[in-house]
Chains A and B, each alone.
Chain A
């Protein structure tokens, strides 16, 4: 069983009168178990040169008609970091067409990825998109730890 641990610390010496220091950690488990997640996309780095929205992770599939599908209740954890060094440059994070927020230069996010909203045809259960604010080039790092995803088939509909 694989053991992957995520730890977060948040600190500040000047935010409030007393120094702020918050820390927490958690092993990443498969849904409703204490078994560690055993799959990952690996740590990836891309150079984006368009302001068009892109998918950096395969979508989570509902059961649909594909016997291999049905990943909507499984555990997925994502990390995304905007590596730009220009403070005004950002990437907009969207999940199933819902804007969640923006990562400015150097900012990163860590969150579980799952949702019940289905706004797509073809039983595409959830879909994370990144939209760079500039087309002049921006590095983005990302990784996902998970217990199951389905990569798109050649025609993109993932039908059996």
Chain B
């Protein structure tokens, strides 16, 4: 077992009339399997880029759209985050990221990536709840 500490901070001085500034930190006990920070080039076919296979445990997933394609050129296309073909639950633009606990739905939740056009390089990592 190991300890993972994710912190999210949201800041805005002008989104509302009162300043937005909050931060939340969690202390997660995590175990294997885990995948350290990795890179993958997603294509327009979702099941070609399965980053998280079906599992019955909770996996804490970090995922980021790098804004680059497989040739290291800038891209503005979006990255669909799917639990299976055609079932997208999130869409990341260039530079955007997410941190979500995934899974424990009778072992049926996987995560695959699909580029809206061309290829998109994504960074990801996950850790299993201990």
Task: Flag whether A154 is at the interface (Cβ < 8 A).
Answer: no
CB contacts (< 8 Å) of A112 on chain B: these are 90-93, 96, 98
B10 adjacent to A4 (CB under 8 Å): yes
Task: Flag whether B53 is at the interface (Cβ < 8 A).
Answer: no
CB contacts (< 8 Å) of B37 on chain A: these are 22
B87 adjacent to A8 (CB under 8 Å): no
CB interface residues, A 94-118, toward B, < 8 Å: 95, 98-104, 106-117
| Interface of A: prevailing SS | strand
B16 adjacent to A109 (CB under 8 Å): no
B58 adjacent to A11 (CB under 8 Å): no
Task: Flag whether A86 is at the interface (Cβ < 8 A).
Answer: no
Q: In the assembled complex, how far is the CB of residue B35 from the closest CB belonging to chain A, in whole angstroms?
A: 11
A12 adjacent to B4 (CB under 8 Å): yes
B3 adjacent to A40 (CB under 8 Å): no
A15-B2, A110-B99, A111-B100 known; A2 vs B62 contact (CB < 8 Å)? no
CB < 8 Å neighbour of A95 from B28, B89, B127: B89
CB interface residues, A 105-155, toward B, < 8 Å: 106-117, 141, 143, 145
CB contacts (< 8 Å) of B109 on chain A: these are 99-101
CB interface residues, B 16-46, toward A, < 8 Å: 16, 20, 22, 24, 26-28, 30, 34, 36-37
A99-B105, A114-B90 known; A4 vs B20 contact (CB < 8 Å)? yes
Q: Could you say which of A25-33, A46-54, A63-71 contacts chain B?
A: A25-33
**Nearest 8 interchain pairs by C-beta:** A99-B105, A4-B12, A111-B98, A101-B101, A15-B2, A2-B15, A7-B9, A101-B102
